[in-house]
Structure 1
């Protein structure tokens, strides 16, 4: 019996579906579906977790080595298995002995850096779920390489591993799996400290703050960004920009009396630093995208009830964001623009924009769009029994999942 056959048998016997088993393991339900159908083989560690959850007495975990030995990946098939095969081939060509037990070629660091930068670009178009398996496989390989490396290459590889952990944390956050996102953000912090890179540690704190902003935890955001900015003068401009703008988000969520002025001051500081960004880090490039600071300012303004000012910004920047073709980002920002219309008592405009967001959310699987649409529904309550409110409810009901 193969691993996938045994897994299906146990799931049926225990009455567990994909989502429930993925939650208990925990692992990504899409990745688990591939394992169930025999298209992917888990790591030994994941196999042991599944064995324990399914009370298989070691029978399930024992099938992994045999299955790995016999498995041949079809030529041209995309996925994490090919990513691992290709990187191992590169490792051999670059002088890394089999088993990752010898000197690690520095060229591998360049390879992984370029791959990570490419992943961030692809994410803006593909959404989270298509990239998780490949990024996770590459993260595992990076950890193997970092453990085998020596000298200055070792912290460099740990730095890249932290970057991949940050990316995975972001993908799970965008996909709505907050538990897995928290896990990967914590992994990133640990890897960042192992790299001994102050910039990366501050970036990790910013990423955790961004997660807390999505959870509407303003105080949590401020605690994390203040820790990131504790030695601000030692940080490169990119990290300062990210931490400063995230601090503005934290303040906008707390709604203190002087919040508008504080947010403007922080965002003005960040804007003045954008043109100074010139580091080689493959992460954090979002702050170089067009209208980045205006987007953050408009988001804060909506939270603070300054809808007219927010709409002025959204109406100026959305045409170019649509033209850029980054569907996931455009959908999130369109949903925020719709919220601004609702706060400004323009429910018809809000519903029109929401229609675009629903299409993008269904296409990309972005849970962040769904959360923004949920916030829109709250702001549209005054019109719940009127045509715009009913139209919005019909749109949201047409979506898969929960909103």
Structure 2
């Protein structure tokens, strides 16, 4: 057995002999190296061995697993044979450290982010959302574990302390004109602060995911991001921008993703597709018809709006509209008409921004938007039309978040497998 200490992490490795050399001969080599040279060496430098098991623990987890006050007190006497009973006292503690794939979700919306994790094999045991219609959609499609409530007012003891916490909390205080420090104290970022406080108050939390607008990474020349890292310094945090088109969605939507972990750093997943391989609007809309839920949920344009729409070619936008009927709002995504053979632009509220069908003079239906978010047709949105349009606009494409979920699942399974292997390790 070899124990390596790297900063805040302890790696325990179990080895078996690689050939038929007697154990006593191997032990004598170890005695000679450690007794005479008095130098720390890697076991593979002095013995012909093959690694059989490995476990990665934080200092805190290692102390909990071993039952010692500190790992510094552990002593290994290489002059005595170690038997399988030597690690028997670890088994109960190590089994308690295994992490179930259970999630508490905050700012859950209609449940699209949760859906991504469900598809990856996780179990969402708690969800919290303020909007009544979004909660109705969540309950109809996912489950009754969702609570309608305000995170700033709810009794925090009602939030299930699951080992994984996810959320996409809104925050508006991102302008460089704001204070360059204490972004988390900005009243406009109160909801984000409550999300972070919920993570800190959950001693069981091993992994968290925060999804937000890309601007959060650069606000205040990166100082907002630094504040988040500092406040959650118990976690190893990876943060970056991901594009849903890279992960197979027919929508070019960029989001900032934070993954915090207490079981070793979890990297953001790498792109799956090259730009020339991106999924197109045509592919996403294939097979749509009016009997599919939410396909007929679409706002009807007024006469002047219809006239504006008719002036916009594929790929065009508000600036394609003649000056005499052009609306005052002139953001480049307004009156944006999608193109059949490209991914869509970022889908915001299709009614407010007037995002146009590739060839029909109308905005996108709720179902068409859902297709661009990778939401299956059996997922039915509920509530008022305006609410359904906002619910989907607030979502994160399923394929993007599912790739994040799968990266987290792989890390958790590796951690749990290491615990299992360590429990079964035969030491001689």
- If asked which structure has higher relative contact order (CA below 8 Å, sep 6+), I would say 2
> Higher helix proportion, which one?
1
Q: Which has the larger radius of gyration?
A: 2
Superposition TM-score tier, normalisation by shorter sequence: under 0.3
Q: TM-score, normalised by structure 1?
A: 0.25
